[in-house]
Amino acid sequence: MAVDHAIAEACAAGESLPTLRFYRWQPPAISLGRHQPLAEIDLEAAAAWL
């Protein structure tokens, strides 16, 4: 996530173009945002991916 922070700062400073990054975890995982509550996640649907 440090790379994401550096990209965001460079973009905000006008030193970089906006960047879209995709992630994939093995085994599958759920990544929550800093202020995203777990209650927003459909755990039953997530478990179906396992």
Q: What is the pLDDT of residues 5-31, one digit of tens each?
A: 999 999 999 999 999 999 888 888 888
Claim: this prediction has a pTM higher than 0.85: no
For residue 50, pLDDT over 80 is answered with no
The one-letter code for the residue type at 38 is: L
**pLDDT value at residue 30:** 87
Residue (of 3, 4, 49, 1) closest to 29 by Cα position: 49
The one-letter code for the residue type at 7 is: I
Q: What is the spatial distance between Cα 50 and Cα 46, in angstroms, rounded to a whole number?
A: 8
Instruction: Name the one residue in this structure whose structure tokens are 């995203």.
Output: 36
The neighbour count for residue 3, using CB atoms within 10 Å, is: 9
Contact 23, 1 (CB under 8 A): no
